[in-house]
Each structure stands twice: as C-alpha cells, then as structure tokens.
Amino acid sequence: MASSMIFTDCSSSTASPLIHFNRRSSNTFLLRQCVGQLRLRTTTAPGRGCSLSIRCSSSPNPSNSDSEALAKVIDGKAVAKTVRDEITIEVSRMKESIGVVPGLAVVLVGDRKDSATYVRNKKKACESVGIKSFEVRLGEDSSEEEVLKSVLSFNDDPSVHGILVQLPLPSHMDEQNILNAVSIEKDVDGFHPLNIGRLAMRGREPLFVPCTPKGCIELLHRYNIEIKGKTAVVIGRSNIVGMPAALLLQREDATVTIIHSRTKNPEEITREADIIISAVGQPNMVRGSWIKPGAVLIDVGINPVEDLSAPRGYRLVGDICYEEACKVASAITPVPGGVGPMTIAMLLSNTLTSAKRIHNFQ
C-alpha cells in the first residue's frame, strides 16, 4: 500500500515526482538547475549523459539478469511497514498509559488535486497507526491571516502534536511567514533553521529530523549497514533532502562529501564512496561506472520516464541506474519501494516523538 501511495503522490504531481520531497517549492528549481549542471559535467556517456533512452529496470525483477545482480535489495516498503507497526504499538501503549493520542494537523489551502491527494494519503497513514488527524481546508482566495489563524489555533491545541502546511500555497501568500508561524515544538517536518542548526552542531539535538533523510538513515540502520568511518557521498544539496542527509551521515561519523551542480568531477568523487545517497531528481544519472564495488546505494529520486507499454504511459525510475548499479553495489534501494515509503513512516514517527516529548512519556 505504501508503495502505491507514493506512486499516486507522484503521478498526481504536475511538475515532477520530486515535488513530493520538495514541499518547500523554491527548491524545485535549485534541484533542477543542479541536475542540468551535473549532466553537463558527466563523462560516462559524452553528449548523451544518462539519457532516458537507457533502459534501467526501475524495480528489482527476479527474472531479469538475476545471476549478475550482486546487490541486496533494501526493501523500504517492508521496513516502512515494520516502522508503522512499531508506531502502532507505541501509540496504543501511550493511549493506555496516559490517555493521550498523538495528533497530526494538516492545513490545506486551495483546490490543487495533487495536494488533496497528499493530504488524503497522510490522513490514511495516520489512521493506520492510530494517530489522530486534523485538517483545515481553506479556499484558494482565503487571506494569509486566515491561514495564520488556523496554524496558530493548532499551535494552541493540546491534541495536536505535529502541524504540516501543505505546499505550495496560493501565490498571494508569504509562504515563509506562514511556515515560521508553526510552533517549533510541532514542526514535524524538521525544516526550521533552529532544527537544522542543531542537526549540524555536535552536542546539540534537533527536535525533529526531516522525514526523507531520516528515512534514508533508518534504512541503513535497519539493514545493519555501518556508517561510522565510512566515506559517504550525498548527491544534491537541497534543504529538504541532500543537506540534512549529509548532516545526519556526519553525525554518525561518516566522512561526507556533498556533490552539487558546481562539482567538476562528480563521477570520480562518487566512485570513492562506501555509501551514496542521491537526491537530485535526474533519471538514471548515477551509472554503474560511478559506483565503487560493494557500495551501498540509497536512491531518493522518483522520476517519471515515458514508457508507452506501462499502463499510465510512464514508469518511475530513480537517480541511480538500477540495472547497472545492482551489479556493482552491495545493497540498493529500488524505485519505487525504497526511500519513498519511508518518508510518511518518518512523519508518523516524528508525530509520535512530539507527542511523547510534550507529554513527557517514555
């Protein structure tokens, strides 16, 4: 279910599936720009880069050159299910012990279908683990003040432990202003600069870790992949995925390099990495030749490529050329079914954490 949910999220996006990770819409452009630059600089297939014509399997297919595949598949769908099951138990333990049910509130403004779908999926995910969901829907033409009023009312509501403002907001509103209004204790997205600062600093603890990068690290943990002492490359430096993922790896004692649009030799640097997290939104950019044998690959990209044989006329692929990578790497996340399902699981986890903290429940 989680996988198809992500799929639905993506298919309903008008721009790019990465919009799912780009709730701060200003970053979409940066990512796109980044990708363009990276393509220019890659040398694996001069003139073509990792073009869409290269057919990489978008998911682990046992019938497809199985004998050559070395990599263990990191099954995000299964891990996300385990995480949700754990959350379900904790939510019910909390309810029984102190009578508190964690609550997640979403503020949805306007009539975008994709936004409505995201919100519906989050609501379903909450229900599935016993988290109470709250929702305010406001019309496209509502004022900034009305939105602010909703946010502030959730800030004050003791049954709400996490608040999400679904982006994008209508263009007549100051997005930053509205996001800044969310109480830092309930900012389950973890994008507040104070949280990012604490994430960067040794000896400090963020209140929340952003969901997608948290999901990446959780996958490594659940598969007992050692991070300490390893070299790691993060491809992409968005505020939402790349940068916090790099800070998390650094906190776990990896030696981290962030590759971005201005990096001159991305292939060469990537080839040195024991762990690669790619979050640029460029289909099949990371080729087999970029990968050190035995590396662990976490693919955050969910990119649609035209495929007339697919029911919807397209299929989803990651940033990493799966077919090539699985012959070189020791472990890899598929797309879909890798990082995707982890994002909502981590949102639920952050909401639970928030409720526990607010009610001082261990």
Residues that are catalytic? 122, 166, 189
Q: Which two tokens stand for residue 25?
A: 């819409």
Minimal distance, residue 24 CB to its own copies, in Å? 9
Question: What is the helix (H) or strand (E) element at residue 262, kind and residue range?
Answer: none
Minimal distance, residue 180 CB to its own copies, in Å? 11
336 upstream amide cis, omega within 30 of 0: yes
Minimal distance, residue 209 CB to its own copies, in Å? 13
Given a contact cutoff of 8 angstroms between Cβ atoms, the answer to whether 189 and 23 are in contact is: yes
| Nearer of residues 26 and 64 to its own copies, judged by Cβ | 26
**Residue 265 CB neighbour total at 10 angstroms:** 12
| Nearer of residues 83 and 276 to its own copies, judged by Cβ | 276
| Nearer of residues 31 and 109 to its own copies, judged by Cβ | 31
What amino acid occupies position 228?
Answer: K
| Nearer of residues 114 and 252 to its own copies, judged by Cβ | 252
Given a contact cutoff of 8 angstroms between Cβ atoms, the answer to whether 235 and 270 are in contact is: yes
Minimal distance, residue 243 CB to its own copies, in Å? 6
- CB neighbours of 39 closer than 8 A, spacing ≥ 6? 49, 50, 282, 285
Given a contact cutoff of 8 angstroms between Cβ atoms, the answer to whether 13 and 281 are in contact is: no
Given a contact cutoff of 8 angstroms between Cβ atoms, the answer to whether 185 and 359 are in contact is: no
Minimal distance, residue 17 CB to its own copies, in Å? 21
Largest CA distance in the chain: 63
Short-list 4, 8, 10, CA closest to 300: 10
Given a contact cutoff of 8 angstroms between Cβ atoms, the answer to whether 329 and 72 are in contact is: no
| Nearer of residues 175 and 324 to its own copies, judged by Cβ | 175
d(CA 154, CA 135): 10
Given a contact cutoff of 8 angstroms between Cβ atoms, the answer to whether 234 and 246 are in contact is: yes
| Nearer of residues 12 and 282 to its own copies, judged by Cβ | 282
d(CA 76, CA 3): 9
Residues of this chain that interact with its own copies (CB under 8 A) are 26-27, 30, 192-204, 228-229, 231, 237-239, 243, 247, 250, 253-260, 262-264, 269
Minimal distance, residue 267 CB to its own copies, in Å? 13
Question: What is the helix (H) or strand (E) element at residue 316, kind and residue range?
Answer: strand 314-317
Given a contact cutoff of 8 angstroms between Cβ atoms, the answer to whether 125 and 9 are in contact is: no
